[in-house]
Amino acid sequence: MDNKANNLIYVDQTDTKKSWTAAIPGGSRDLQVIDGNKVLVSHGNGAGEYDLATGKKLWAIDSFTGINSARRLDDGNTLLGGSGKGGITIYTADRTGKTLGELVLKGLRDLRLMRRLKNGNILLTVGGPYRVIEVDTRGKIVWQAKIPGKGYKAVRLPCGNTLVSTASAAVIVELDADGKIVFSVGGKKEHPNILLDCFSGFDTLPNGNVVVANWLGHGNMGKGGQHLIEFDRKNKVVWTWGDNKTAKVLTNLLIVDDVKQSTPAAATPAVAGEWTALFDGKTLEGWTNPYKWGKASVVDGEIHLTTTRSKFFLTTAKQYADFIFEVEVKMPEGKSNSGFMFRCHQQPNKVFGYQAEVDPSDRKWSGGLYDEGRRGWLYPDKKKKETIGAFRKNAGDSFKRDDWNKYRIECVGDSLKISVNGVQTTDFKDSTDAQGYLALQHHGERGKIYRFRNIRVKVLKAAKE
């Protein structure tokens, strides 16, 4: 990524004909490969997606200001981080650019890149003094360590250590849980024969080597400095790349081993690893109601469920085994309850099995795991108060009572995971059902409309016929 010429550069060292350069907005700093064939690029006003094979711009949001970092979440929303509102502000935005949430880290500054950790916390570098910090979903600092200069990028390694690039210090340090430096590469004194200016983004290789972008913006552009430098674990330079005709000042990089070919938007085959729309916004094709009561209709690109009798479920016509299922729901005012069935079973006037809870009540169990028509609550467990406390602490206020809420359900073998608006609320192991239908629930409140939209599935393992 060249943030001087405002270009995104793809270099194929095995076939130069596949290399390309694409113009990007100013203020671009962050990169992330998504879906294997696209790259997410942050820019000053938001973020954009680009086809990795061609550089074609596919999508963008640009209604923000001061953005330095962008990360695509598992639920399809995007985290945007920048400066504002008296500190560092981290927004959660949907595909339209609508702000779904804000996290303000008051009094902190100098954000460059941030990374969302598996536990939902965010890792980033800050100034005053220069540190790498980990904050929880409420913005509380739960871990921090000093770094030898202004930080740029920080990543959490599988071993639990943290790797951080420091700008003008031109070093990348690995910190243990106590903040002690256990490894480093780079350093101007250690490499006097190569022009090290400022370290920004970096990537790691399977062999443990580190490839870093050597930002040449301090008057060193075009003076023979290398744009990219690879260091081994002994701090030896083993590879460099510098091309002043192609690039001016590089601020970030990604090592991409393989680029999948893009699938045309009109093609939505239900094959492993690809998203398939389960609702076309116009018809109820692919859905069925196994009950003698309950009504489903399509209104303004949404599925509306109503009933004049009692609870019912609208189910898919197909079964699914291992998958990622995403759907948005908006609940009616007043008393109501819903859920998303998965790997469920159906009989005339009955649906039973796993259910991701939608609970707008003060109990706040949205995102919990219920076994409809069989065992009842699996997580949290009513008989184990500690699971209730842990669930509420983790889920917090992720569910928005009077707004659209995005659910993500991931099933792989006996692993059942549920997320609500980007917050993972349930991670449970159960092997009762290996496959089944997906379904939308109306809880039975007569005259009330339950609304659903943006329904899709990614098949990871096909169900048996």
- Backbone dihedral angles phi then psi of residue 392, each to the nearest 5 degrees: -65, -35
pLDDT score, position 271: 40
Q: Are 173 and 318 contained in the same domain?
A: no
Q: Are 297 and 388 contained in the same domain?
A: yes
pLDDT score, position 465: 67
Count of residues for the chain?
A: 465
35 exposed, middle or buried (CB, 10 Å; 0-12, 13-18, 19+)? Answer: middle
Report if residue 117 sits inside a domain.
Answer: yes
Report if residue 147 sits inside a domain.
Answer: yes
380 cis-preceded (ω within 30 degrees of 0): yes
Q: Specify the pTM.
A: 0.59
SS3 391: helix
Contacts of residue 165, defined as CB under 8 A and 6 or more positions apart, other chains included, come to 151, 152, 153, 154, 171, 172, 199, 200, 201, 202, 212
Report if residue 296 sits inside a domain.
Answer: yes
- Backbone dihedral angles phi then psi of residue 196, each to the nearest 5 degrees: -100, 120
Are 134 and 142 contacting, i.e. CB atoms less than 8 angstroms apart?
yes
The CATH number of the domain holding residue 332 is 2.60.120.560
Tokens representing 177 are 């849980």
Tokens representing 117 are 């950790």
The CATH number of the domain holding residue 165 is 2.120.10.30
pLDDT score, position 257: 61
The 10 Å Cβ neighbour count of residue 431 is 9
**Which residue range forms the structural domain that includes residue 448?**
275-461
| DSSP conformation letters of 123-186 | EEEETTTTEEEEE-TTS-EEEEEE-SS-EEEEEE-TTS-EEEEETTTTEEEEE-TTS-EEEEEE
pLDDT score, position 422: 87
Low-confidence stretches of the chain (pLDDT beneath 70): 257-273, 465
- pLDDT per residue as tens digits for the range 54-110: 999 999 999 999 999 999 998 889 999 998 778 999 999 998 999 999 999 999 999
- Backbone dihedral angles phi then psi of residue 201, each to the nearest 5 degrees: -75, 160
Report if residue 212 sits inside a domain.
Answer: yes
Q: What's 399's DSSP letter?
A: S
**Cα–Cα dist 401/260, whole Å:** 39
- What are the angstrom distances between the C-alpha of 464 and each of 59, 273, 434? 36, 17, 10
Q: Are 104 and 11 contained in the same domain?
A: yes
Report if residue 261 sits inside a domain.
Answer: no
**Cα–Cα dist 46/105, whole Å:** 19
Helix (H) or strand (E) holding 323: strand 322-330
Task: Give the CA angle between residues 443, 400, 276 to the nearest 5°.
Answer: 70
- Helix ranges (DSSP H) in 294-452: 385-395
- What are the angstrom distances between the C-alpha of 217 and each of 42, 67, 201, 227, 403? 19, 20, 14, 11, 45
Q: Are 69 and 163 contained in the same domain?
A: yes
- Backbone dihedral angles phi then psi of residue 17, each to the nearest 5 degrees: -65, -20
141-146 vs 295-299, strand pairing mode: unpaired
**Alpha carbon 380 to its chain's center:** 25
Residue reference for tokens 């917090």: 396
Q: Are 300 and 206 contained in the same domain?
A: no
Report if residue 159 sits inside a domain.
Answer: yes
Domains: count for the chain: 2
Are 352 and 345 contacting, i.e. CB atoms less than 8 angstroms apart?
yes
The 10 Å Cβ neighbour count of residue 400 is 17
Contacts of residue 14, defined as CB under 8 A and 6 or more positions apart, other chains included, come to none
Q: What's 449's DSSP letter?
A: P
Report if residue 105 sits inside a domain.
Answer: yes
Q: Are 378 and 317 contained in the same domain?
A: yes
Report if residue 216 sits inside a domain.
Answer: yes
Q: Are 422 and 375 contained in the same domain?
A: yes
**Cα–Cα dist 80/69, whole Å:** 6
Q: Are 201 and 141 contained in the same domain?
A: yes
- Helix ranges (DSSP H) in 243-395: 385-395
Q: Are 59 and 188 contained in the same domain?
A: yes
Q: Are 165 and 297 contained in the same domain?
A: no
